[in-house]
């Protein structure tokens, strides 16, 4: 590439550079829109986001932090080992650009002396790791802030407005994709539970019928026997019913009371 | 065309016009009424399904109401079963076009005057729980607006089943299953009894029960009731 320390994004790009960036950007957005595919993996997705944003925004390293159920940030993906250690340090020391972006909901950046004033402990550590310009954009959709995308680079040249704009757009699309994926996953889980409840309902009715026929009882009495067997053997009613239907439990076994047998 | 969230908001407003409700059963009923009044359906049913079996109807509205849904499960064929099995809507603007695929159903549905049917599966991915079943007494495709409304109404029904928590004293989803299942569970009890009589699986016994209903022209529920009350045996 030939530039000094900044890496990929020089302030004035030639046509080839701009076209290359456009191509990368298009590819990244296609990837971001891919949450509906069956094999969606959150970590892999965010790893891709980190790698893409390094290339497109012209950073040296990138990482993504997401808030957990208690609202605390967790490092989910990073483009390199150095970044990973640094971000874990940021969470530990409770100071740095990602925490600020996440807390305020606004993009944050500082480089050189400014970063050392703003985050004395963190900026020093970042500098030791080789990063001078530090930037973080929140991952937010309306009022929901779910995390932050962090971009660091070795030179102290601040991120340009255009670069920040691209970072914001990528973070936003990623946020929407993640929220959508969460909703789909949650719905899928609930639908699975309801489906299982409906299935077990049928199995229980079949088991009642089988027992009633075999033991010459009414279906209500058969249900009592099923319940008692499940209780006595400390098993779930559905599991016992399934074993009765599959003839894995001899039906006579349910007629006997343990204390009298 | 309106954005999906606007459409959703409009339908929610329409079904809560008579007063907001958090009761699943009331909401289901109003969604069926919405289909009848706004989508020109002559019948609409929200049904819970497991495998190939109708577990129960949650709500129904219109002159053809749940009858047309019941019929498909009694016969073991029809657009509802296909929509549920495939997970995609089945649109049948002219029942006559369904004769090749579902000959028995198409003939039987025409008797009470059903001319078109539109079935929307309820569920997420492979986890499906039921269908939103609309029929009409006139042939013809749903307009784009009606189709979009029906899809969103089905989503609302699905989400209500998955998310609504019922206030104390009102039927929750578990109680709803009891209500919905009350006239159908006898089929599965009877299948269990026949399975023991013939030393086969309840699934095979159910197929036998269905065949017996078809041959005799009686409802599968009536025969199942006879089996459970020991008026009919299958091993004699």
Mean pLDDT of chain A: 85
Which CATH number is A118's domain given?
A: 3.30.450.40
Flag if A194 and B192 touch (Cβ within 8 Å).
no
Residues A44 and A140 in one domain: yes
Flag if A209 and B193 touch (Cβ within 8 Å).
yes
Q: What proportion of chain A, given as a percentage, has pLDDT over 70?
A: 89
Residues A117 and A236 in one domain: no
Residues A178 and A81 in one domain: yes
Task: Specify if A7 maps to a domain.
Answer: no
Which pLDDT belongs to residue A173? 81
Confidence of residue B121 (pLDDT cuts 50, 70, 90): very high
Task: Specify if A10 maps to a domain.
Answer: no
Kindly tell me if the per-residue pLDDT of B162 is higher than 90: no
Could you count the other beta carbons within 10 Å of the beta carbon of residue B198?
14
Q: Which domain holds residue A196?
A: 188-254
Question: What distance in Å separates the CA atoms of residue B54 and residue B65, rounded to the nearest whole number?
Answer: 15
Flag if A208 and B192 touch (Cβ within 8 Å).
yes
Alpha-carbon distances of A73 from A120, A138, A140, A244, B68, rounded to whole Å: 20, 12, 14, 49, 53
Residues A47 and A140 in one domain: yes
Confidence of residue B142 (pLDDT cuts 50, 70, 90): very high
Kindly tell me if the per-residue pLDDT of B16 is higher than 70: yes
Residue B174 CB-density burial (10 A; 0-12 exposed, 13-18 middle, 19+ buried): exposed
Task: Specify if A140 maps to a domain.
Answer: yes
* Closest CA of chain B from A189, distance in Å: 8
Kindly tell me if the per-residue pLDDT of A3 is higher than 50: no
Which CATH number is A209's domain given?
A: 1.10.10.10
Determine which of A142, A198, A199, A248 to mutate to test the interface with B (most B C-beta atoms within 10 Å). A198
DSSP state letter for B91: E
Cα torsion through B213, B216, B219, B220, rounded to 10: -20
Cα torsion through A123, A125, A130, A135, rounded to 10: -40
Kindly tell me if the per-residue pLDDT of B153 is higher than 50: yes
Which pLDDT belongs to residue A10? 46
* Domain end among A157, A187, A217: A187
Residues A94 and A152 in one domain: yes
* B56-79 pLDDT, tens digit each: 888 999 999 888 898 898 888 999
pLDDT higher at A229 or A176: A229
Flag if B193 and A199 touch (Cβ within 8 Å).
no
Which pLDDT belongs to residue B117? 96
* B165-179 pLDDT, tens digit each: 655 665 566 666 666
Could you count the other beta carbons within 10 Å of the beta carbon of residue A70?
6
CB A77 within 8 A of CB A63: yes
Residues A203 and A175 in one domain: no
The stretch B86-108 carries a mean pLDDT of 93
Which pLDDT belongs to residue A43? 82
Q: What is the pTM of this model?
A: 0.71
Task: Specify if A259 maps to a domain.
Answer: no
Residues A90 and A29 in one domain: yes
Residues A108 and A196 in one domain: no
* Domain end among A138, A160, A187: A187
* A192-215 pLDDT, tens digit each: 888 888 888 889 999 999 999 999
Residues A51 and A102 in one domain: yes
Q: Which residues of A touch B196 (CB under 8 A)?
A: 209-210, 213-214, 251
CB A170 within 8 A of CB A56: yes
Residues A237 and A131 in one domain: no
Residues A135 and A47 in one domain: yes
Residues 175-234 on A with a CB inside 8 Å of B are 184, 187-188, 190-192, 194-195, 197-199, 201-202, 205-214, 219
Nearest to B188 among A191, A195, A206 (CB): A206
pLDDT higher at B167 or A188: A188
Residues A179 and A196 in one domain: no
Could you count the other beta carbons within 10 Å of the beta carbon of residue A119?
22
Number of domain units in chain A? 2
Q: What proportion of chain B, given as a percentage, has pLDDT over 70?
A: 89
Question: What distance in Å separates the CA atoms of residue A97 and residue B161, rounded to the nearest whole number?
Answer: 42
């Amino acid at each position: 590439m030939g530039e000094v320390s900044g890496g990929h994004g020089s302030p004035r790009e030639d046509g080839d550079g701009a076209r290359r960036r456009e191509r990368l950007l298009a590819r990244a957005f296609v990837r971001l829109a891919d949450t509906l595919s069956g094999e969606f993996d959150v970590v892999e997705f965010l790893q891709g986001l980190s790698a893409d944003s390094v290339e497109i925004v012209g950073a040296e390293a990138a990482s993504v932090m997401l808030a957990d159920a208690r609202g605390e940030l967790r490092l989910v993906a990073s483009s390199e080992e150095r970044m990973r250690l640094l971000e874990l340090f940021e969470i530990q020391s409770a100071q740095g650009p990602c925490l600020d972006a996440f807390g305020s909901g606004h993009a944050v950046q500082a480089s050189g002396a400014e970063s050392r004033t703003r985050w004395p402990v963190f900026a020093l550590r970042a500098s030791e790791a080789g990063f001078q310009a530090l930037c973080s954009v929140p991952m937010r959709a309306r009022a929901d802030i779910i995390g932050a995308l962090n971009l660091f680079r070795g030179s102290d040249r601040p991120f340009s407005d255009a670069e920040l704009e691209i970072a914001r757009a990528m973070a936003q699309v990623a946020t929407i994709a993640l929220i959508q994926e969460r909703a789909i996953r949650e719905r899928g889980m609930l639908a699975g539970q309801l489906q299982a409840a409906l299935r077990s309902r049928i199995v229980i009715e079949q088991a009642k019928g089988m027992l009633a026929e075999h033991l010459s009882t009414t279906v209500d009495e058969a249900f009592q026997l099923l319940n008692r067997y499940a209780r006595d053997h400390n098993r779930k009613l559905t599991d016992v019913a399934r074993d009765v239907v599959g003839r894995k439990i001899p039906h006579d076994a349910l007629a006997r009371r343990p204390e009298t047998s | 065309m309106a954005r999906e969230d606007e459409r959703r908001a409009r339908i929610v407003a329409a079904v809560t016009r008579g007063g907001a409700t958090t009761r699943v059963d009331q909401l289901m009923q109003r969604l069926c009424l919405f289909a009848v009044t706004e989508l020109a359906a002559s019948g609409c049913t929200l049904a819970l399904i497991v495998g190939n079996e109708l577990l129960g109807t949650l709500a129904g509205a219109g002159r053809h109401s749940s009858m047309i849904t019941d019929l498909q499960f009694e016969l073991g064929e029809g657009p509802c079963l296909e929509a549920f099995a495939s997970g995609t809507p089945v649109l049948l603007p002219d029942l006559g076009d369904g004769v090749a695929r579902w000959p028995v159903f198409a003939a039987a549905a025409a008797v009470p005057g059903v001319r078109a049917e539109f079935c929307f599966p309820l569920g997420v991915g492979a986890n499906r729980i039921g269908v939103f079943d609309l029929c009409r007494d006139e042939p013809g495709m749903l307009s784009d607006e009606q189709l979009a409304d029906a899809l969103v109404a089905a989503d609302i029904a699905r989400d209500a089943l998955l998310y609504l928590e019922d206030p104390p004293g009102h039927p929750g989803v578990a109680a709803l299953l009891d209500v919905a299942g009350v006239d159908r569970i006898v089929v599965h009890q009877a299948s269990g009894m026949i399975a023991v009589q013939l030393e086969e699986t309840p699934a095979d016994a159910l197929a036998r029960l269905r065949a017996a209903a078809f041959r005799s022209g009686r409802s599968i529920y009536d025969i199942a009731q006879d089996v459970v009350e020991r008026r009919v045996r299958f091993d004699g």
